[in-house]
Structure 1
Amino acid sequence: MELSVLKQLESLTTIEKQQKNRQIFSDDIPPTAIDLQESKEFNVPVLNDYFFRNHAIYVSKHNRFAPYPMHTHQFFEMNYMLQGNANETVNGDRVHLSQGDLLLLDIGSEHSIDALGENDILINVLFRDRNISLDFLNQIQSQQSVLYDFMINHLRKEKTEKRYMVFRSGMHDIRTSLERIIEEYFRPRPFSDTIIQAELTVLIAELIRGNEPTIDDPSPAQKLAVKLLNDIHKHYRDLSLEDLANKYAYNKNYLGNLFSKEVGKTFSEALTQERLINARRLIQNTKKPISEICLEVGISNKSFFYHKYHDLFGNTPKDDRQHTNGYISPSHTNPPLTIL
Structure 2
Amino acid sequence: MTSKFLNYELFALTPVELKQRQSHGNVNYMDLDYVNNPIPQMPRSDFFKHGDIAVTKNNRFSYVPAHTHSFIELNYMYAGTCTQYINGEKVTLHQHNLILMDKDIVQQIESTGSNDILINILLKNDSTMNQLFDYIAVSTNEITQFLYNASHINTLHNNFILFDLTHQEAAINLVESLIIKGLTKSRQRNKSMGLLLSTLILELSQSIEQEYINFSDNTDDNLLPIIQYINQNFASVTLRDVSAKFSYNTNYLGNKLKEATGKTFKELVDRRRISAAQNLMIKTNCTLADICDIIGYQNTSSLFRLFKKYLKTTPSEYKRKVSGPLKQ
* Counterpart residue number, 1:22: 23
Q: Which of 146, 158, 169 is the aligned partner of 1:172?
A: 169
**Aligned partners of 1:48 and 1:75 also within 8 Å:** no
Question: What SS does structure 2 have at the residue aligned with 1:102?
Answer: strand
Q: 1:76 aligns with which of 72, 79, 101?
A: 72
Structure 2 unaligned spans of 5+: 146-155, 214-328
Please name the residue that 2:180 is paired with. 183
Question: TM-score scaled to structure 1, two decimals?
Answer: 0.50
1:12, distance to aligned residue in structure 2 (A):
0.7
Q: C-alpha distance in 2, partners of 1:79/1:107?
A: 13
Q: 2:204 aligns with which of 200, 203, 207?
A: 207
Q: CA deviation at 1:188?
A: 4.7
Partner residue of 2:41?
Answer: 46
Select the structure of larger CA radius of gyration: 1
CA distance in 1, matches of 2:127, 2:191: 20
Please state whether the residue corresponding to 1:166 is helix, strand or coil.
strand
Q: For the Cα contact (< 8 Å) 2:164–2:209, is it kept in 1?
A: no
- Aligned equivalents of 1:125, 1:192: Cα separation in 2: 14
CA 1:13–1:205: 2 relative to 1, 3 Å: same
- Structure 1 letter corresponding to 2:70: Q
Alpha-carbon distance in structure 2 between the residues aligned to 1:174 and 1:14: 31
Would you say how many aligned residue pairs link Structure 1 and Structure 2?
A: 195
Deviations 1:90-134 (A, max 9, x none): 11111100000001111011111111111111000110023678x
Aligned with 1:193 (options 190, 206, 209)? 190
Q: Contact between 2:162 and 2:209, CA under 8 Å: does it hold in 1? A: no
Tell me if the contact between 1:5 and 1:186 (Cα under 8 Å) persists in the aligned partners.
no
Residue 210 of structure 1 deviates from its aligned partner by: 4.3
Partner of 1:198, secondary structure, is helix
Task: Provide the rounded CA distance (Å) in 1 between the counterparts of 2:5 and 2:157.
Answer: 40
Q: Secondary structure at the residue paired with 1:203? A: helix
| Cα deviation 1:143-202 (Å, max 9, x = unaligned) | 749xx99xxxxxxxxxx9961111013333322211001112223558433322210121
Q: Give the Cα separation in 2 of the matches to 1:131 and 1:102.
A: 23
Runs of 4+, deviation exceeding 6 Å: 140-143
Superposition pairs for residues 204-243 of structure 1, below 5 Å? 204-208=201-205, 210-211=207-208
Aligned-partner SS, 1:206? helix
Residues 141 and 208, structure 1, Cα contact 8 Å, conserved in 2: no
Q: Give the Cα–Cα distance (whole angstroms) in 2 for the partners of residues 65 and 190 of structure 1.
A: 32
Distance of 1:192 and 1:113 partners within structure 2: 29
Contact 2:62/2:110, CA 8 A, preserved across alignment:
yes
SS in structure 1 at match of 2:83: strand
Change over 3 Å in CA distance of 1:180–1:143 after alignment to 2: closer
State the distance in 1 between where 2:78 and 2:128 align: 23
| Cα RMSD (Å) | 3.7
Question: What residue in structure 1 maps to residue 92 of structure 2?
Answer: 96
User: What letter is aligned with 1:66?
Assistant: S
Q: Which amino acid aligns with 1:59?
A: V
Aligned counterparts of 2:97 and 2:137: Cα–Cα separation in 1: 21
State whether structure 2 residue 105 is matched by structure 1 residue 106.
Answer: no
Quick one: distance in 1 between partners of 2:157 and 2:29? 31
Matches of 1:54 and 1:30, distance apart in 2: 21
Q: Is the 8 A contact 2:102 2:157 kept in 1?
A: no
Q: CA deviation at 1:18?
A: 0.7
How far, CA to CA, are the matches of 1:88 and 1:172 in structure 2?
25
Describe the shift of the 1:54–1:117 C-alpha distance in structure 2 as closer, same or farther (beyond 3 A).
Answer: closer
Distance 2:157 2:182 in 1: 32
Q: Deviations over 1:36-68 (max 9, x none)?
A: 9xx96x851112421213511111010000111
Letter paired with 2:5:
S
SS at match of 1:73: coil
Residue 142 (structure 1) shift: 11
Question: What is the DSSP-based 3-state SS (H/G/I as helix, E as strand, rest coil) of the residue aligned with 2:66?
Answer: strand
Question: Relative CO higher for 1 or 2, CA cutoff 8 Å, sep ≥ 6?
Answer: 2
Q: Secondary structure at the match of 1:184?
A: helix
